[in-house]
Amino acid sequence: MVLPLELAVVGALATGFLALAAVVSGALTRSAGLVAAAFGLVIVILGGFPYLALLVLFVVASVLATRYGFEEKQRRHVQEGTAGERGVSNVVAHIVLPTALVVGFASVSGSGSLSPVLPLLYTAALAFGAADTFASEFGVLSGKAWGILSFKPVTPGTNGGVSVLGTLWAFTGAATTSIVGWLLFYGFGSPVLDAGFAVAAALVAGFLACQVDSLLGALLENRGLLTKGSTNFLAMLSSIAIAFLLFRTLGGLV
């Protein structure tokens, strides 16, 4: 599927404007804004507007979560960037796989409709992104955290640290993204899986992948074997894999 020329132009303008707004607002660095615009352009042209819309909503939610309690985060030295901005590595870690999904499915479908499995996997990827961001940005404000493997108290914000508040927000991020994602794809007329299955599968995948992220952080990132970006990338890949496994074992086509 490729958007007609007129819609592609609209999509390109919208993507450019949104990326510029993210840079001007301080949500992204200039380089990160350019990267986001390039990947976003591919997504909207090959996938369509619901894919871009869900990505934009994810970015907006991430910015709001990052800005919440920012002064306290600065005081604890756990803030994102210097002023809440996200750089190229963060953007790449969260946008490469969603883009690859759209490109891959578009290549297979040719000029036909995209598979209804794509919205599930795409939503699962961003459900992890939201779960991870919410868990991190709200969890660091928690008074208590424990190592996911050691179960010993750790400073909130430590790689591999989990908290009740962060876990609740991880579930909230995965759940809201899963629900909004299905509604967007259904509303735009994209082929979709059964609502109950699609929402539940994306939610489970995103939430579990958030725990995978914590495990990777504790096992490998703390030892310098992974960066924050590569940890996020691998955890998002696990979310896509879990969602696909659930689809293959449980089905869900309408």
Structure tokens at 227: 């960066």
pLDDT tens track for 36-58: 999 999 999 999 999 999 999 99
Average pLDDT value for residue range 78-89:
77
Global pTM value: 0.93
Percentage of the chain beyond pLDDT 90 is 67
- What's the rounded mean pLDDT across residues 208-231? 94
CA 65 to chain centre: 13
Report pLDDT for 112: 61
Tokens 């990326």 sit at which residue?
19
What DSSP string runs through the chain? Answer: ----HHHHHHHHHHHHHHHHHHHHTTSB-HHHHHHHHHHHHHHHHHT-HHHHHHHHHHHHHHHHHHHTTHHHHHHHT--STTTS-B-HHHHHHHHHHHHHHHHHHHHHHTTSPPPTHHHHHHHHHHHHHHHHHHHHHHHTTSS-EEETTT--EE-TT-TTEE-HHHHHHHHHHHHHHHHHHHHHHHHTT---B-HHHHHHHHHHHHHHHHHHHHHHHHHTGGGTSS-HHHHHHHHHHHHHHHHHHHHHHH--B-
Domain coordinates in residue numbering, the chain = 5-250
**Beta carbons of 91 and 18 less than 8 angstroms apart:** no
Distance set, CA 8 to CA 15, 49, 53, 88, 161 (Å): 10, 10, 14, 25, 43
Q: 240 and 97 in contact (C-beta within 8 Å)?
A: yes
* Arithmetic mean of pLDDT, 63-91: 82
Determine which of 1-10, 79-88, 144-153 has the lowest per-residue pLDDT on average: 79-88
Place of tokens 């969602």: 243
